[in-house]
Structures are given as C-alpha cells and as structure tokens.
C-alpha cells in the first residue's frame, strides 16, 4: 500500500492523508488561506487541482471556513487531504454530521479519487447504509474485538436469512446461527450458509444485505465464538471499518 516504506518514516507519512470526524479547519481562515497553509506544511501538495476542485464544487475560495456549510467544510477538508496525493486516505466518521445529499456527494468524491489515483481508502463509519455501495472489505468491531472480517462479496455470499415457523427456530441449533429474531408466528434467522446449502423444510432462504449482516453481528457480540444460535443481549451498533 505504501510501497514498502518504513512505518513512521517521512516517505511513508508523505503517502498518508487523514480526515477527522469534526473536519478540523481554522474557522477564521478562508478556503484559499487553508490551501496556502496546508501547502506550506506539506512536502507535496497539488494546489492547482485543489483550487479547481473547490471551484467545481461551488465553494468560494475567499469565504472563511466558519461561514461554510457542514457539507462544504467536509469537502474542503477532503480537498486538503486529496491535494497531498496520498497512497492511503484515512477517513474517521467523515459523514457523521452530514445530511443525505452531502454524504452522497462526499462519498462520490472519495470513490472518484480512489479510482483516478489508485488510492486505498480506510473508512471508519457508523452509517451502515452507506457502506454497501463503497466497501470492498469489512472489519466489524464491537466491545473492543473483531466480530467479523472479510471481503464484502464473500461475507454476503456466505450468509442467508431463513424465515420460518417461530416454534421450530430452536430445532436448528446445529446450524451456524448468528442472530434469531422472533415474532408470534415467524422467526428470522441469520445463518452462515451459502446458496447451495439445503433449506430446512418449511423455511425460506433470502440473500442478506450488508447492513442486515452487520447489525446481526453487533446485536450478538458472541456470535463468532458460538457454533449454535447466539442469544446475547441487544447492543448498540459499534464501529464499522472498511
């Protein structure tokens, strides 16, 4: 990812850019001032492309950071990071404070930059719905431990949602069940299974989405350690890294 450069070395650090959750900007400096400051603090910075990108986004170069909208501030912070031409871009909850349109525009920019510059992106986010269209690899963490990790396509292909009679849910304890959700008549079980695995009589199998899979593992913090149905308490979603 960093071409074998020694971790922590100036050469390695030159290839890494970071955008924090609170998009730290100097509120009293204009966008142009932020470009000038960042250029002077970095050994590599493409100011021309940064100015062109801000102009294309309709962000006035003379406007102070504190006068920009939340979406514009996030785009300015991202522009400052991308202008360093990083090999690795680290994003820490970059969409937490953005509205849906701003989130979509932000991620569209990230995806375009990643494709154009052959850049790797490490994204930490609680916004599960945004991940399925952008993530290639998922690391799901809860309570300080990794719950599940792997290529997104492989994870989705290796899980199925089974729907069937609630009274029969406990009969399939030998199956690798991640999470069971019961109603009066029906039960829904997320299981580790592929499309070729047999379906229990009276049950239906459906593909699972990334958000559904992630929430199931977050609700069952011991699911990775148990071969049968996990019956842990419900927990608030923790962190998802892609």
Strand order in the sheet with 186-192: 177-182, 186-192, 159-165, 204-206
User: pLDDT for 48-59, tens place per residue?
Assistant: 999 999 999 899
pLDDT (tens digit per residue) in 108-138: 888 888 888 889 999 888 777 777 778 889 9
Q: 93: closest CA among 128, 133, 123?
A: 123
Residue ranges per structural domain of the chain? 14-135, 140-237
| CA–CA separation, 120 and 136 (whole Å) | 11
Q: At what angle do helices 100-117 and 70-82 cross, to 10 degrees?
A: 10
Antiparallel, parallel or unpaired: β 16-19 and 186-192: unpaired
Task: Give the residues of the chain that fall short of pLDDT 70.
Answer: 1-3, 172-175, 221-242
Fold of the CATH domain 14-135: Rossmann fold (3.40.50)
How far is it, in rounded angstroms, from Cα 96 to Cα 98? 6
């Amino acid at each position: 990812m960093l071409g074998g450069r020694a971790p922590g070395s100036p050469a390695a650090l030159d290839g890494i850019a970071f955008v924090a959750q609170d998009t730290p900007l100097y509120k009293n400096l204009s966008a142009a001032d932020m470009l000038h400051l960042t250029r002077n603090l970095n050994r590599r910075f493409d100011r021309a492309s940064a100015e062109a990108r801000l102009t294309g986004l309709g962000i006035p170069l003379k406007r102070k950071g504190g006068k920009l909208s939340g979406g514009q501030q996030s785009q300015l912070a991202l522009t400052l990071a991308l202008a360093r031409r990083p090999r690795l871009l680290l994003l820490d909850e970059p969409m937490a404070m953005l509205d849906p349109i701003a989130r979509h525009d932000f991620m569209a920019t990230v995806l375009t930059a990643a494709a154009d510059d052959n850049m790797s992106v490490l994204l930490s986010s609680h916004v599960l719905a945004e991940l399925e269209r952008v993530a290639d690899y998922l690391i799901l963490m809860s309570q300080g431990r990794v719950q599940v990790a792997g290529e997104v396509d492989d994870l989705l292909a290796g899980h199925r949602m089974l729907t069937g009679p609630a009274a029969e849910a406990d009969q399939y304890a030998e199956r690798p069940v991640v999470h069971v959700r019961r109603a009066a008549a029906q039960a829904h079980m997320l299981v580790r299974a592929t499309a070729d695995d047999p379906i229990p009589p009276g049950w239906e199998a459906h593909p699972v989405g990334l958000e559904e899979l992630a929430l199931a593992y977050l609700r069952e913090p011991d699911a990775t350690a148990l071969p049968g149905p996990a019956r842990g308490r419900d927990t608030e979603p923790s962190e998802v890294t892609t």
